[in-house]
Amino acid sequence: MATGEGLISMVNWTKIRNDFPALERTINGRPVVYLDSACMALKPRQVIDAMNEYYECYPACGGRSIHKFGEEASNAYSEARRKFRKFLNASDDSECIWTRNATESLNIVASAVKLPKGSKIITTSLEHHSGSLPFVERARRDGLKTEIVKALPDGTFDIEDWKKAVDRNTSMISVVHSSNVTGTVAPMKEIVEIAHDRGALVISDDAQYAPHHPLDVQDLDVDFSAISVHKMCGPTGMGVLYGKLEHLKSMNMCFYGGDTVSDVRFENGEILPEYLPPPEKFEAGLQNYAGAIGAGAAADYLQAIGMSEIEKHERSLLEVALKRLSDMEHVHILGTNDISIKTGLVTFNVDTVSSAHDVATFLNDEFNIMVRSGWHCVGPFHYQMGIDPKKGTVRASFYLYNNREDVSSFLSGIETLIEASK
């Protein structure tokens, strides 16, 4: 296992923790230990305040109304997109499309990107259902071929498998950058190089990667990236689709209507629309202005702390957790223990307890420790590993507001459970 030595940070993590009002709560007289950030991250005051400011001061429509509230809403909406562009290091604001979540971002690409007849789409056994199913269904719709690259049992990929799978007939690849089950980080740059060498496009599922690691879409050269804003301290119901402008321009539209058009003529009994370029092309109707403003505030908040610092902090917590869990009899960890290629999460099972839900229920009921149990929307990898998806696995995920005490409470909780269930 890589060591956590040298992971000393200049960030005041106690101050950061105090930004999150939900962590001030006690339930039944006990503090809460929130270890479910891979599902939904907590929200800092800075994000809540930015959204409240919109609702309290200028809760109007952006992009249409010329009055003062409208102007303020338009400016804040554009500014939020600019902040997000900076966060991703996209080359143009128009490359960032607001969506409802990463699932919608993946679906937009899967349904609207133009792919040659008879070509092949590749995805993996480690994909979240949101990263595989839209592409499986696209292939069914258009009679395209599919191929699945199998992850290795430790959640990593063998790059040779990619070289074999991606051929000149491959048009599209959907791959999870950081797995929400094993936490392993895929060798995205190498996959993109292989794909581009053979003329294929890549969508990187960054739902788990963007909140926890520095992400530079230009450096990775990905064609698309799907981002889940609610997993990165932003509001619920918000996601981002990043796409290279040339691809966004050539894609079909998904939704038609208000705000997508530059002109709609009525000639010879016909309605004749002229559509706007991205991002408007993909943002039909009135938008979630508060959500976008909150997303911009979240991007600013994380960047001010520094994504490398956040990555280091999480890995230092993960290292402690992995070390002690690995030593526990009856605990079986899914995925590699190499923290240098992992996001801050650990997924495991306890063989003295019949299902993952029982583990999560025990931790929640006894200690207010909130973890996730189930199949994490990654059925195929559970099947590949011979794990009954109904029994599932337990996932503890760490974020910038977690500390060593959280990790200790969690580990002690697991030890207590094992003792009680033996």
Ligand X SMILES: Cc1ncc(COP(=O)(O)O)c(C=O)c1O
Nearer to ligand X by Cβ, of 58 and 399: the residue is 399
Checking DSSP bridges between strand 345-350 and strand 261-267, what pairing results, if any? Answer: unpaired
- Stretch binding ligand X (CB under 6 A), from 117-125, 165-173, 204-212, 244-252: 204-212
Known catalytic membership, residue 377:
yes
Long-range contacts of residues 3-8, Cβ cutoff 8 Å, at least 24 apart: 3/319, 4/315, 4/316, 4/319, 4/320, 4/339, 7/312, 7/313, 7/315, 7/316
Q: Which stretch binds ligand X (CB under 6 A): 4-12, 71-79, 98-106, 407-415?
A: 98-106
Q: Which of residues 267-326 bind ligand X (CB under 6 A)?
A: none
Contacts of 325 (CB under 8 A, 6+ apart): 331, 333, 346, 348, 411, 414
Q: In the complex with ligand X, which residue's Cβ is closer, 129 or 163?
A: 129
Which one among 207, 217, 248, 310 touches ligand X, defined by CB under 6 A?
Answer: 207
Taking CB under 6 A as the binding criterion, the range among 72-80, 125-133, 325-333, 387-395 that sits at the site for ligand X is 125-133
Shorter beta-carbon distance to ligand X: residue 44 or 131: 131
Among 36, 205, 319, 406, binds ligand X (CB under 6 A): 205
The one catalytic residue in 39, 61, 254, 377 is 377
**Token pair in block for residue 236:** 């619920």
Least distance between ligand X and beta carbon 149 (Å): 16
- Between residue 158 and residue 187, which ones bind ligand X under the rule CB under 6 A? 176, 180
Site string for ligand X, 233-262 (x = CB under 6 A): ------x-----------------------
The least distance separating ligand X from the CB of residue 387, rounded to whole angstroms, comes to 17
The residue among 239 and 279 lying less far from ligand X, judged by its C-beta, is 239
Of 101 and 316, the one with the shorter C-beta distance to ligand X is 101
Stretch that binds ligand X, among 123-131, 263-271, 307-315, 387-395 (CB under 6 A): 123-131
Binding mask 8-47 for ligand X (x = CB under 6 A): -------------------------------x--------
In whole angstroms, the minimum distance from the beta carbon of 182 to ligand X comes to 11
The residues of the shown chain that bind ligand X, judged by CB under 6 A, are 39, 101-103, 128, 130-131, 176, 180, 205, 207-208, 228, 239
The residues that are catalytic are 377
